[in-house]
Structure 1
Amino acid sequence: MGTAVDPRTLQAINAIESLKARYFRSLDTKDWSVFGSVLAGDIDVDTTSVGGDRVRGASNHVAALQTDYGNSVTVHHGHMPEIEITAADTATGTWAVQVQLVRPDGRRWLSSGHDRDTYGIRDGRWVITSMKSTRLQADPL
């Protein structure tokens, strides 16, 4: 028999899964206000392993993605979350991620890999405090 999970832990995991879903949806729909709201003000984002930069700060991350993806179509899918609540107000998560990117000139890419995140409670709600993206494969379509 498995060990019973505390209802607060399940609520936190559910909130974090919804948070990441909003991250992907708002990025793909270019809803930059919602996108910025899921990020900690001091977020640390490392995309160096996928050819990007390391960016600190929510406003810097939003600005970078507006520049990189603002005129492109993106479709992000996050699957198989592994969420661990590490304290009452912190957690870690690993997500299998698939991204389709269509540039304005018609070039297309499909990539698969993982996002490794940390989360924290700020002002009474969960936010993403750090993210490291890796890709196992990236192919032009």
Structure 2
Amino acid sequence: MSAEESAVEEIRNLKARYFRIIDTKCFEELNSILSEDAYFDLDGIVNRGSDGSILAPVQLAALFQGHQAAVVRGRAAMVAFITQALSPVISIHHGFTAEIEVDGDSAKAIWPMEDIFFGLTPPHGLIRQAYGHYADIYRKEGGMWRIAGQSLSFLHQRWFEKEGQAS
């Protein structure tokens, strides 16, 4: 196996680990797979009003006031944000076959994705299903690949009042 093929396989495993960590709520493990200066760009999933302010999702509107881009910067901030966002839901993330490009100790990938969130807090039974892409940046640090940045965008999302009934 070439060095590039080995790197691609390590990056695939890293993204799989990321999905497992967030879905099983082992949030502290994120510290071992994110670079210290990592970022999470969520601007591609927000709905903005005519004035440019974020309308939805509500938790992002509360964090990013005004016309500010919805970007979480730094490992500690990312861990805190992901913990807060995913603690009140059951999440199921699927990452599909990625386009991965390796350039020495850096890499980038585009992951087609689907995620499903089942609400645990009132109103119980609310379900969101989304389809889109993660565009990730990776960096090899100390011999280990880490997520240095990720941008999430949705192509489509839908909400269900109860399992099986689209709203």
How many angstroms apart in 2 are the aligned matches of 1:7 and 1:102? 41
Work out whether 1:117 is the aligned partner of 2:112. Answer: no
Measured against aligned partners, the alpha-carbon deviations of 1:50-99 in whole angstroms (never above 9, x if no partner) come to 1242100111011011111112100000001100002x100000000000
After the TM superposition, list the runs of 4 or more consecutive aligned residues in structure 1 that deviate by more than 4 angstroms. none
Helix, strand or coil: the match of 1:110? strand
Measured against aligned partners, the alpha-carbon deviations of 1:14-66 in whole angstroms (never above 9, x if no partner) come to 00000000001100000012222111110011001212421001110110111
Question: Partner letter of residue 128 of structure 1?
Answer: I
Question: Structure 1 length as normaliser, TM-score?
Answer: 0.92
Helix, strand or coil: the match of 1:80? coil
2:28 touches 2:79 (CA, 8 Å); kept in 1?
A: no
Work out whether 1:60 is the aligned partner of 2:77. Answer: yes
Work out whether 1:9 is the aligned partner of 2:12. Answer: no
How many angstroms apart in 2 are the aligned matches of 1:103 and 1:77? 18
Aligned to 2:99: 82
Match of 1:138 among 152, 157, 166: 157
Structure 1 or 2, whichever has the larger Rg, is 2
Unaligned stretches of 5+ residues in structure 2: 47-59, 61-69, 161-167
State the aligned residue count. 135
Aligned to 1:73: 90
Unaligned stretches of 5+ residues in structure 1: 1-5
How many angstroms apart in 2 are the aligned matches of 1:70 and 1:83? 30
Question: Partner letter of residue 156 of structure 2?
Answer: Q
1:22 touches 1:35 (CA, 8 Å); kept in 2?
A: no
Question: Partner letter of residue 74 of structure 1?
Answer: S
Work out whether 1:101 is the aligned partner of 2:117. Answer: yes
Question: Structure 2 length as normaliser, TM-score?
Answer: 0.78
Helix, strand or coil: the match of 1:68? helix
- Percent of residue pairs identical: 29
How many angstroms apart in 2 are the aligned matches of 1:34 and 1:132? 20
Helix, strand or coil: the match of 1:27? helix
CA RMSD of aligned residues (A): 1.1
